[in-house]
Amino acid sequence: MDHSAEIKKYVSCHEKEILEDLFKLMKIDSSFSENGRDAAHPFGAGSAEALEECAKMMAGYGFPVKNYDNYVIAADIGEGERELDILAHLDVVPAGEGWTVTDPFSPVLTEDGIIYGRGSADDKGPAIAALYAFRAIKELGIPLKKNARLIMGGCEELGLGDLEYYFEREPHARYSFSPDADYPLINAERGISGTDIKTVFTDEEAGASPIVSIHSGLRRNMVPYSAAAVIDTAGCGLDPGAIAAVAASVAKRSGTGIEITSDGSVVKLDVRGVGGHASIPESSVNSLTCLMEIISALPFTDKVSETVRAFSRLYPFGVYHGEAVGIDMEDK
């Protein structure tokens, strides 16, 4: 029997509740944090709070919920053998910078029907959609031949330690899917190069460099919105105005915003790009690779600066497929 019409009507009638439940979760900063992290909160206070809030929702709708030590929560529907696992997650990447429509944890629904806020698409929105699929089936009395389990994780964005913990304790269902990203199906994902590049400088080499510090990035799967460098021009014969001219030229070509401040011989460069998910870097503007290009164009000859140039050659601004490091490849 086809139940699609009554399910569609159910969802339409519960739209207000769906948004209320989603916004409850979206208001929680559930990114991984050392704040409050302990044996009872393995991924930090925020992740555990999101799991607890969602468990309360699920129990309120009549589903028996099991909390696996704040790694994941899970609820079943149907009887008999478990045939399907639905894998969602309630953690998010850090808020980042550059939000315009709203603050990251103050969700809004605009007049044109778009929800803004961290986690709306990845993955609290899809998680709530899956929960309401369960509610619709249960409350409409639609019979199921086998069991399905909705599993909500607390650390998908930082390595899937949540599911590792869960599947050490529970068997896999025969089938599974994840309501995440371009649901309902992604055939393949862009390759990921998780590379650590480490160079050790002597005190003498570090002290001889005008580059005092470089900072950028929050997570490996985020294109950095901002990047900052501090340069001390004392002793290198370079006027701060020359740095500003190089920075302005690169900024114009790259589409980034650059703020330059100076205090005597010390110059600070703040680059503002467009943040985004690392799976679609061409939709973002990488502030770090832009900053590397600026520094590489300055006439410094010390070992630290040469290392920055080498990094910039490996990962040049505006190149997204690893061409320079020799990993640009594709298959059918």
Residue 198 in any domain: the answer is no
Greatest mean pLDDT among 62-66, 79-83, 260-264 lies in 62-66
CATH code, 288 = 3.30.70.360
The single-letter code of the amino acid at 50 is A
Q: What is the residue range of 85's domain?
A: 4-177
pLDDT digits (tens, 9 = 90+) for 14-25: 999 999 999 999
Answer with the residue of higher pLDDT: 10 or 193: 10
Residue 144 sits in the same domain as residue 229:
no
Q: pTM for this structure?
A: 0.78
Residue 163 sits in the same domain as residue 67:
yes
DSSP state of 127: H
As to burial, measured by CB atoms within 10 angstroms (0-12 exposed, 13-18 middle, 19+ buried), residue 142 is middle
Residue 137 sits in the same domain as residue 70:
yes
Average pLDDT over residues 165-193: 85
Residue 212 sits in the same domain as residue 297:
yes
Residue 171 sits in the same domain as residue 207:
no
Residue 278 confidence class, pLDDT cut points 50, 70, 90: confident
Mean pLDDT, the chain, rounded, equals 91
pLDDT value of position 98: 79
Residue 183 in any domain: the answer is no
Distance of CA 209 to CAs 212, 235, 241, 269, 288, Å? 7, 10, 19, 16, 19
pLDDT value of position 288: 95
pLDDT value of position 129: 95
H and E: helices and strands count for the chain: 9, 13
Average pLDDT over residues 203-230: 90
Q: Please give the Cα distance from 53 to 90 (Å, whole number).
A: 10
CATH code, 56 = 3.40.630.10
Residues with Cβ < 8 Å from 107, sequence gap 6 or more? 22, 23, 26, 27, 115, 116, 117, 120
Average pLDDT over residues 108-136: 95
Residue 245 sits in the same domain as residue 141:
no
